[in-house]
Structure 1
């Protein structure tokens, strides 16, 4: 699992794209244990219906974790084993929106959540992703810029 995550992280092309973070105008959402979290992310600057859209999260001080994806035409979904049964990813291509619903929240779900589009280019049969921030956190922005420099 750790090697797979490292491989996934190596396959990221960090291209920040203008993004709307949450359904509400707040950049932080507070929920109680057991509640359901609903987040939305708007893509722009590319043909939204071209690609699968992925959801990723990062808990404080921990690496990025892939949660799941929805195919470009919404015909299918894949979820990480650790999120199956309580995660739902949907999209509305006409609005360039991706929606994440995460139920049965626990303290472990406190994290920064990201949307990512799967690019059409592949190298070594591993897809590249473009992460676009769904948060205005300057700290997270700085972390992504550092990661991007290391990968070049």
Structure 2
């Protein structure tokens, strides 16, 4: 650096400044909560993952719509596949959770319950989450993909 060219040195942050603590947000999980399914080995259990990105669109009334696609890359059917969104409302750490189910294939369970939130091995399903304007603003979000495994 010559005398004609002065090196740029950014201003230092005040030593008295302490940013607010970061809240502990949920870490995305990609394995079933069913312990017996995990013990039989990965190739025999469901494993649902996000394919691509989550699209975020806002309409003219201020409502937000999140859309995405989930794929079961495991070896068993995943039932009641859902995506839990944890929204961070402010820098103080206030959070709020909303959940949406994946639109997959129909399945009738032994109990007689019929659901369209199952993903067969290799199958993909879409989800969308409508966040109304009166939900309020948020500064970010994380998500967790969750599912069950039934016979």
TM-score (norm: length of structure 1) = 0.40
TM-score (norm: length of structure 2) = 0.40
Q: More helix per residue: 1 or 2?
A: 1
